Structure 1
Amino acid sequence: MYEKILDIAEQLFMTQGYQATSTRQITELLGVTQPTIYYHFKKKEDIYYAVMLRLSKDIEQNLTKIVCDSTPDLERKLITMVEFLKKKHPFNFFVMMHDVQHSLPKEMTTKLYQLFSNSYKAPFVRLLTENSPKLRESVNIEFAVSQLFILMASYLDNTNPKDNISEMIDLYLHGIYRT
């Protein structure tokens, strides 16, 4: 039952966000009562953290696998990483960040940020660090990855009608300025 709760909760949290998802919705989709959920989790934020922990492990494992792939092409790896995130875990990044910052206690926000940093962000930082000789010397890799996530956000929630991730990565890496 624990995994079933997480499956349904993940689906709801990733599409509606934390704020708009209720434990009542989770129980209705599962066809169980509220006490069934509260047997496994004390409160909604505990469900959210368990969902994010499970997602983070999967994300970190798969993104790291892409980074370690023998394909030497930075651009191809970035495209593959973004495509993986879009396919495997579509979510509305802006809703998620708003929920984390405004709907959860500070302690939980800190734990979630740590999960995000280690599983989502770290593989991108590693990839750019390993490819730093190809980057301009003035590039701050942490900042560059943060900007990439802002750019990626509109592609991850599956509302973008044209799937032009390759174009987005090309623009990210090469800019618009003619050299």
Structure 2
Amino acid sequence: MARRAVEQELSRDRIMDAARHLFITKGYRAISMRSIGQHLGYSHGSLYYHFKEKAELFYAIVVQDFNHVDLLFRQVISSPKVEGLTKVEQLMLEFIKFGMDHPHQYEIMFMLRDEEILSYCRAEQSKCFDVFSSIVKKYMREEDHPLANHTSVPLSMFLGLHGFISFYIQDHLTFEEIQPAAIAHVKMLSHSL
């Protein structure tokens, strides 16, 4: 009965949130299941009910974060057009907004460089970019953009967005604080093609 109470109280999401924070602040290698349990005020054994090992926990975090971005991309597709923005510009702004409003998630998804965990991120990064790329190409074709079939355009856009987020994320700013700069950056990326 006591184990069941702990299992109900200590949810996967709570473990993942704590682990995400610890992986960012202390580094993947410095964190153990024991230290995550201590951070949460539980024995590390209670974490094993949800995750077999640290790598499985890390991968669950990565997948959850990339699924969130995928959902945001799909919401842009189904949302009405915003006055003064193309769908591609809306997509780019949504990506910047995610990065700024979820800095810990963004850092785990795109900025951790630990060789031991990079393989967990690469496959998900590739899927994320493929979705982004297909949306960009679709709307560029619909807008009859002269570079619609150029394969390097989505990658250039994506890298431009990543650079923007990476620069501003260090200052712990919100999207609202950098929104004018984000709009200007997105417009520049869109119109420089």
Q: TM-score range by the shorter chain?
A: 0.7 to 0.9
Of the candidates 174, 183, 186, which is equivalent to residue 166 of structure 1? Answer: 183
Q: Quick one: distance in 1 between partners of 2:29 and 2:66? A: 20
> TM-score when scaled to structure 1?
0.73
Q: Deviations over 1:14-38 (max 9, x none)?
A: 4554334433331122101121223
Question: Residue 160 of structure 2 aligns to which amino acid in structure 1?
Answer: L
Q: Please say if 1:82 is aligned against 2:99.
A: no
Q: Quick one: distance in 2 between partners of 1:127 and 1:5? A: 33
Q: Which runs of 5+ in 1 are unaligned?
A: none
Q: Equivalent residue for 1:69?
A: 79
Instruction: Kindly tell me the number of residue pairs found equivalent between the two proteins.
Output: 168
Q: Contact 1:148/1:172 (CA < 8 Å) preserved in 2?
A: yes
Distance 1:46 1:142, change over 3 A: same
Larger Rg: 2
Distance 1:81 1:135, change over 3 A: farther
Name which of structure 1's ranges 33-42 and 146-155 shifts more when overlaid on structure 2.
146-155
Q: Equivalent residue for 2:38?
A: 28
**Identity value in percent:** 18
Higher relative contact order (CA 8 A, sep 6+): 1
Deviation >4 Å, runs of 4+: 14-17
Q: Contact 1:23/1:44 (CA < 8 Å) preserved in 2?
A: yes
Q: Please say if 1:115 is aligned against 2:124.
A: yes
Q: Quick one: distance in 2 between partners of 1:57 and 1:17? A: 23
Q: Which runs of 5+ in 2 are unaligned?
A: 1-9
Q: Quick one: distance in 1 between partners of 2:28 and 2:189? A: 30
Distance 1:57 1:69, change over 3 A: same
Q: Contact 1:121/1:145 (CA < 8 Å) preserved in 2?
A: no
Aligned positions of 1:135-174 closer than 5 A: 135-136=146-147, 138=150, 140-155=152-167, 157-159=169-171, 163=178, 164-174=181-191
Distance 1:160 1:55, change over 3 A: closer
Q: Please say if 1:47 is aligned against 2:57.
A: yes
Q: Give the CA deviation at 1:61.
A: 1.1
Q: Quick one: distance in 2 between partners of 1:77 and 1:64? A: 9
1:134 match: secondary structure: coil
Q: CA RMSD in A?
A: 3.0
Name which of structure 1's ranges 81-90 and 122-131 shifts more when overlaid on structure 2.
81-90
Distance 1:174 1:44, change over 3 A: same
